Amino acid sequence: MPLALVALMISAFGIGTTEFVINGLLPDLSAEFGVSIPTAGLLVSGYAFGVFVGAPVLTILGNRLSRKKMLLLLMVVFIAGNLLSALATSYGALMAGRIVSSFAHGAFFGVGSVVAANLVAPQKRAQAIAMMFTGLTVANVVGVPVGTLLGQNLGWQSAFWAVVAIGVVGLIGVAALVPADRPDAERPALRTEFRVFRRPQVWMALGMTVLGFAPAFTVLTFIAPMATEVAGFSESAVPILVGLFGVGVVAGNLVGARLADRALMPSLYAILVALIVISVAFLFAAHSQVAFVIAILAFGVAAFATVPPLQTRVLDKAEGAPTLASAVNIGAFNLGNAIGPFLGGVVIDAGLGYTATAWVAALLGVAGLALALVSGAMDRRSARLPEPALV
C-alpha cells in the first residue's frame, strides 16, 4: 500500500477521535452545561447532520481545486472547528464548533476515498479505502479512550486540544506525502458528477448506507450511561469499554474490506444479519458485565464491517464520476449517525430505558438489509442493461 495512505490515516485518526470522543464524555458534558443525557447526545446528532450537509456542499465548492489542495483546505477547517470546541464556554458554542469541524469530515473522507482508490490496483480498492478508514477505527482504540481519560481528569476541553494537535500532524502529512494532482487531471465536469444521481442504484446505495450504518451510533452514543447505570460499571471503566469497542471497530473494518473485495453484496447481506442479531443480543447482555463486554466487542466488529462494502458499493454505482457521490455517501453515513441517536433519545425520553436503543438499532438494521436485498435483486434483473449515460 502506498505511503500516501499513511497521511490519510493520520488525518482520519484525528477526525475519528473528535467524532467519537463525545460518547465517552456525555455524562461530563451533561453536568457541565446542565442538560439531560439525551440533549447532550444531540452533540453527536448535530455533528452527524453537519457532515451530511457539509459533504456535498464543500465538495461542490472545491470542485475546481486539485484533490490534494482540497484535502489540505479541509484539514484547516477541521482544525478551526476543534479550536472553537476547545474554547467553548456554553452548550451552544460547543455545538457550533462541532458543526464547523463536521463540515470538513464528509468531504475529506469522500475525496480521500477517491484518492485512496486511485493509488492502488482496481482489485485492491476496498482494502485501500479501508486502510484510510483504519485511521478512523484506530481512533476508537486509542484516540477516544485517551480523549475520554483526558476529559475526565483534565476537563473535557483537553480532549479537543489533543485533537487540534492531531489535526496539525495530519495537515503536515497530507502536504508531504499525498501526490500532487491537477484540478483537471482525469476529473469529470461537475455537471457529470451530478448526472450519476440519475442512476436509481446510486440512490439505493446511499439509502443502504443510511439504514445499514445507523445502528452503530444508536447504541454507541449512549454506551457510557448504559455501562454505568445498567451494567453496573464504574465511570473509570468507560474508557476501557470504549477502547474495547474500538478494537472491534478495527477488526470489523479490515474484515469488511476483505469480504467486500471478494463478494460485495453477499458479504453485505451477511454483515447486516450479524449486526441485527448482535443488536438484539445487546438488549439482554447489557444486564451482565461479562456479557456486556462480549457484546460491545462483537457489536463494534459488525457495525464497522459495513463501512468498506457500503463505500465501495457507491463507488461502483457512480463509476465515471465518483467524487461527489463518494462525499454524499459519507454524508449518508452521518445521516444514519444523526437518525440513530435521535431515535435512541426518543425511546429513552419515553421511559423505555437505555437498553431500548438496542431494539431501535435492530429495526434500523432490518430496514437496511431489506433495501440491500432489493438493490441486489435489481442488479440481477438488469445485469445485461447498461447504466444511464453520463454525457
DSSP string covering 95-157: HHHHHHHHHHHHHHHHHHHHHHHHTS-GGGHHHHHHHHHHHHHHIIIIIHHHHHHHHHHH-TH
Asked whether the beta carbons of 52 and 332 are under 8 A apart, the reply is: yes
In this prediction the pTM is 0.72
d(CA 46, CA 133): 22
Where does the chain have alpha helices with state H?
4-33, 37-61, 67-86, 91-118, 125-138, 144-154, 157-177, 190-195, 200-220, 223-229, 238-262, 264-285, 289-305, 307-317, 322-349, 356-381
User: 338-352 in b/e burial notation, b at 16+ Cβ within 10 A?
Assistant: bbbbbbbbebbeeee
Cell of 56: 456535498
Q: Which sign does the torsion angle of CA 55, 311, 15, 275 carry? A: positive
Cell of 364: 434500523
pLDDT value, residue 183:
59
Find where cell 490515516 sits: 9
Name the stretches of the chain with pLDDT < 50.
390-391
CA proximity to 8, closest of 178, 247, 251, 168: 178
Please give the CATH superfamily to which domain 4-381 belongs.
MFS general substrate transporter like domains (1.20.1250.20)
CA proximity to 139, closest of 295, 26, 19: 19
286-343 tens-digit pLDDT: 888 999 999 999 998 999 899 889 988 988 888 777 777 877 888 788 788 778 888 9
pLDDT value, residue 391:
47
pLDDT value, residue 52:
79
**For residues 34, 361, 8 and 141, what is the CA-based torsion angle, rounded to 10 degrees?**
70
